[in-house]
Every structure is written in C-alpha cells, then in structure tokens.
Structure 1
Amino acid sequence: MKQTILVVEDQQVLREIMKEYLEDTGYEVLEAKNGIEALALFEEKKIHLLVLDIMLPEIDGWSVCRRIRKQSNVPILMLTSRSDDDDTLLGFDLGADDYVVKPCSPPVLLARCKRLLEIKREIPPADTLVAGQFMLDYSSRKITVSGSEVRLTHTEFEILAYLMENKGRILTKEQLIMKIWGYDFEGEERTLSSHIRNLRSKLGEHSKHIVTVIRSGYKFEEYL
C-alpha cells in the first residue's frame, strides 16, 4: 500500500515539481494550494506525511500545523523561504518534525520525506518498552507516563524511544542527530535542543528522567 503525502504549497510550479518527483519515487501525492484545502483534505484522507509551506493564503502554515497537532502526530515537514532561526524554532514549538529552506533540490526533499516516513531500527523492538513509569507502544506510537498518555510528535517519539532503549547510557548529540535525522542535518544541535525542550515540556514533572550531561549529550534515567 502506497504511503500518502499531502503537499501544501501555493506556488503551482513548485507544487507540481514536488508532486511529480515524489510520485515517481512511489508515493501517492495529494495537493493543496492553501490552508483551507489542506485541512479539508487532512480530514477526508489518510495522510502519512505533510509537506507544509509556511506562507499560505487563507490560513498560514503555522495555523495549519497548530490545528493538526491538536488531533494527530502525523510527521510534518515545513517549507520556508527564509533561513530565519525564529521561523524554524517556532515551527518546532508548534509541532513540526523537520524543515527545508526553499528552493531545495528534489533529492534533498525526498531524503527528508523518507526519513520521516521510515522507522529504521537494527533490531525489531518488542511491542512495548517499559522503563519505570514510562510505557512506550511502538505499534500505536503512544507513550504513557503513570498511566496517562502524553501526545508527542513523530520526532519527539523517536527521540524518547532512542533514549529509553539506551537508558542509563549517555548518547552524544551527534549520535542523536544521526539516529533521528540520518544525515548532515542543517539545524544540528539547535534543532535537537528545541525538540528536547518541547519533549520535556510535555512530560512535565517527569521530564527529570531526561538528563542533560554537560558537554556530552543526554541520557534517560529510569529512576530518579
């Protein structure tokens, strides 16, 4: 079964280029030229990934991202015409998983999409992973802490899963970046730090289990 990508971009030529390239790679691609169309399609269809431009007519990309995050943890790849740190960090705060700066080459876009759609693990995990009060369910991609579900984005889930799988072990920032994004990621440490901050915010009092190791990286401590 083909995975479906929703491309939301108001520039028709760019939208058609992305659609053609992604379809040639084997994905089913739906198009929306504004935020209203994007939200309508998201309600009607099963979407596996959103490629979402920021500057959209009707409803901008920020608002689309915010609304979708209230109901779904579908991976969201933001498109921005500026390499502005504030734009990037705002996108992550709203729940975006990754971003690319326009104009970008189709192979770069494809690499980002593939990474968000594929869960690459060397050893297939058990259905669930339990560490203290944390229970992570791989099949449903849900995390519960003390019996209460915590809604995470695709990237936040991957970060927490990797930390829990290596509980008690220090993972360097470089290890986390390569594991989660799998390439020489533009945002590097700043982007990782933003996702860690958002993850801790959602975990509330349980965020203490994600420990920062100065000048090294992060680790998950089961009991604190």
Structure 2
Amino acid sequence: MPKILVVDDEAHIRELVSLYLKDEGFDIVEKSNGADALEYAENHAFDLAILDIMMPQMDGWVLCTKLREFGDMPILMITAKGEAKDRIHGFKLGTDDYLVKPFDPVELVLRVKALLKRYRISTSNIIKLGNVSLDRSSYQVIYENGKTMTLPMKEFELLFKLGSYTGQLFTRDNLIEQIWGIDYEGDERTVDVHIKRLRERFAEFESDFRIVTIRGLGYRLEVYRD
C-alpha cells in the first residue's frame, strides 16, 4: 500500500489522520515540523504528503515548494486557514487539494484515495497483470484458471511494487529501500537475483507482462494485456 507522509505540529491532528488512514491499510510516517519532514523526504520515498501550513522551523508553503523539487507527487494541505487567497496561494505552489480544520476524517480518506487514483498510485490489495493477479492480503499469485501460487515474501513484494506502478522506472537503490529497508546491509545485486527468479517463474506469461531492464538505471514492469 502507498506510504503517506503526515506533517503537522499538532500531535492530536497527526494521530487522528494516522488512525483513519492506517485503518484503510496505508503506511504512515508522522513528522511534527517542516524541517524534519524535508530531511525525511531527502532520504526516503513516499507516495503522498499531507501538510499543515502553520508549523515551526519551516511552514507548509516552503515545504510544499521543496517537495515539488523531488518530483510529481500528490500534496494535500490541511490548515486552519480557509480564506480563498490562501487556497489560491497553495495551488500556485503545487498543492493538489485542500482541507480546512476542523475536517471530517472520512472526507480526508476519500480525498486521499481520489488523489492517489488521479496519480495512478494503486491503493488496492489486489492488482491484475494480464491473466495474473497478485493478492497482497494472502501473498498469493492467482491465475485466470483459478490456480494459486505462494511466492517467497520478498519476491512477492518486489513484483507487487513494480506491478503497482506499471511503466515507472525503479532504481536498484529505490527497490532496496522500499522492499528490504533503509538499514539493509546487503549488496544491490540482491535485486538482480530476485528479478531473475521472477522472470523465470513467469516466463510463460511474457505476453501478459514483463520486467524490463533499463540498462544502467534499474527496472520497470510493462503490462501488455489488460
């Protein structure tokens, strides 16, 4: 599931947001100020950011601008400021959506899901790769004829990650961090070994999907049949 960065100096707001999003299966990282959030963003990948405006050390406006330097990701602003000029300013800086405190947590969840859908980031536990489906709740591969196969956990997580972002390039470092963790001390060739195993396991399904090597950069998964 997508990882969401929640940045707010009010602990009870972070807890409320995290509670509702965790119930939906999202991975949540909490930060209490913009400076800590930026430091995290410089060293970790995540899929969506939820930002407060009025924060110590670095406000939400500055943080939003700096996060945009890392790429095109959904950004949702939550703030006590409801004036039109503030919303306009936020959109000019690259904010995708806006919620004013106090807000309905259910509405927050729906807006987060809508943003992820707009950015084509998978929020489902099941993804379909041609005639092959991956069920993250059971770590099973399900074939069109109903047969199933259970993959080793790291192989499954690697395939699920690539399959959740079809067509997107992942470097080996990206995959090591997101699948094995930032503290992993092994060699990046681990990724190559797992990719090789996955290609061998699904060789007969190359007309459905294929993991493509981008020489010198990394890997991406391409789907050829819906």
For the structure 1 residues 30 and 120, does the alpha-carbon distance in structure 2 shift closer, same or farther, using more than 3 Å as the test? closer
Question: How far is the alpha carbon of 1:64 from its aligned partner?
Answer: 0.3
Following the alignment from structure 2 to structure 1, what is the Cα–Cα distance between the partners of residues 29 and 70? 20
Q: TM-score, normalised by structure 1?
A: 0.53
Matched, 1:51 2:57: no
Q: CA deviation at 1:140?
A: 4.7
- Residues 43 and 120 of structure 1: CA distance in aligned 2, closer, same or farther (over 3 Å): closer
What letter matches 2:32 in structure 1? K
What is the identity, as a one-letter code, of the residue corresponding to 1:49? L
How many correspondences in the alignment? 125
Mapped partners of 1:116, 1:139: distance in 2: 19
Deviation at 1:95, TM superposition (A): 0.5
Deviations 1:76-131 (A, max 9, x none): 0011202101100000000011110111111010011000111499xxxxxxxxxx
The within-5 A match list for 1:101-140 is: 101-119=100-118, 139-140=167-168
Query: What are the ranges of 5 or more consecutive residues in structure 1 without an aligned counterpart?
Result: 122-137, 142-224
Could you tell me which amino acid in structure 2 is paired with residue 8 of structure 1? V
Match of 1:88?
A: 87
State the identity %: 41
CA distance in 2, matches of 1:43, 1:120: 21
1:25 aligns with 2:31: no
CA distance in 2, matches of 1:55, 1:72: 23
Identify the residue that residue 4 of structure 1 maps to in structure 2: 3
Give the Cα separation in 2 of the matches to 1:34 and 1:78. Answer: 14
Aligned-partner Cα distance in 1 for 2:78–2:35: 17
- CA deviations 1:113-163 (Å, max 9, x no partner) are 000111499xxxxxxxxxxxxxxxx9459xxxxxxxxxxxxxxxxxxxxxx
**CA root-mean-square deviation:** 2.1
Q: Specify the alignment match of 1:37 in structure 2.
A: 36
SS at match of 2:78: strand
Is the CA contact 2:73–2:119 (under 8 Å) kept in the aligned structure 1?
A: no
Check the 8 A contact 2:6/2:49 in 1, yes or no. Answer: yes
Max radius of gyration: which structure? 2
1:15 aligns with 2:50: no
TM-score by length of 2: 0.52
Task: Please list every run of 5 or more consecutive structure 2 residues that lacks an aligned counterpart in the other structure.
Answer: 121-165, 170-226
Runs (4 or more) in structure 1 with deviation over 4 Å come to none
User: What CA distance in whole angstroms lies between the structure 2 residues aligned with 1:62 and 1:80?
Assistant: 11
Residue aligning to 2:66: 67
Give distance in 1, aligned partners of 2:114 and 2:12.
25
For residue 79 of structure 1, what is the aligned residue in structure 2? Answer: 78
> 1:51 aligns to what SS in structure 2?
strand
* Offset, 1:39: 0.5
Q: Which amino acid aligns with 2:111?
A: R
The letter of the residue matching 2:107 is: V
User: SS in structure 1 opposite 2:46?
Assistant: coil
- Counterpart CA distance in 2 for 1:120 and 1:71 is 15
